[in-house]
Amino acid sequence: MEGRRLPRFTMTDGGLPAGLWLIGLGPGDIGLMTADGIEHARACEYRFLEGYTATLPIDQEILLESVIGPWKRVMRPQIESPQNILELAKESSVAILVVGDPMQATTHIDLEGHCYDEGISFTIIPGLSAISLAISLSGLQSYRFGRQVTIPFDYGNYLPTSPLEFIYANYANNLHTLVLLDLDPSGMGIDPPSPMMPAKAIGLLKAMDERLIEQESSIPKSMDEAVADWKGILLTDLGTPEQRIVSGRLEDLAMIESGRIHCLILPAEFTGMESEAYRRRLLKH
């Protein structure tokens, strides 16, 4: 398995050897794809765009073929049960194209294990991650972030409170939380995902808070008081021309209906410079 230092490859080298190439596309604009990623994707005999852990805007999907060549979409079943792809990779060079940085999802880490078990060459070409962009563009200090969390869609009576409990734990340690919003309401990863919108995410956070109160769970008093006037930073369509970053009270951020992919930052106490950065991003009414 290779993933740290790649041998420099150019199109004059000819085709790539058999194996699986996991290639990061960057967060949403093909212009942010690395030169190495483009060269290796072009040189692979087969190209698959993984379409359920993250998505590209439609115009960028159309552009992708002109940059790297023809590709096919694969969804959760083909990636989590990848035998057909692995059989191809035993005899041919196969690229799996992933929006963002490919090893952010446990599904992709699992692919490495499959390749290891079957003796298939496995190479990682990193891409720019929306996670690192979110922290950088928020204006907050990177070392002051705790564990990131994902808000899942609720299904019937299913409403996990663990995401909010992790947020509480971060807050108690004076750490900011990056909150990722789920993509697929069905949870199946079969159909093109429908990203969660801010109003849904913020509504779920409030529902989690109410459930914890009903369960008489231990909520830090400082956090309980903060919930009444919760503030956050909403980051939308990072790494695309439509990128937008605004701060404000959560009830105001919930009113935003534009944009495609969103994430939230729930801050702890600000330092002086962080407070100024937050004010510069305030939502204009």
For 73-121, the pLDDT digits (tens) are: 999 899 999 999 999 999 999 999 999 999 887 788 899 999 999 999 9
Mean pLDDT over 19-38 rounds to 95
Count of CA atoms in the C-beta half-sphere (13 A) of 250: 23
75 close to 189: Cβ distance less than 8 angstroms:
yes
Identity of the residue numbered 126: P
- Measured at the alpha carbon of residue 124, what is the angle toward residues 107 and 51, in degrees to the nearest 5? 45
Mean pLDDT over 183-195 rounds to 75
Q: In the chain, where does DSSP find H-type helix? A: 35-43, 58-68, 76-80, 83-91, 106-118, 130-138, 162-172, 198-214, 221-227, 250-253, 272-280
At residue 173, the 3 state secondary structure works out as: coil
Of 5 and 71, which is predicted with more confidence?
71
| pLDDT reading at 266 higher than 90 | yes
pLDDT, averaged across the chain: 89
Count of CA atoms in the C-beta half-sphere (13 A) of 153: 15
Structure tokens at 213: 């109160």
Confidence (pLDDT) at 226: 55
DSSP code for 282: B
- Domains of the chain (ranges; CATH) run 11-128 (3.40.1010.10), 131-280 (3.30.950.10)
Confidence (pLDDT) at 1: 46
Mean pLDDT over 9-20 rounds to 73
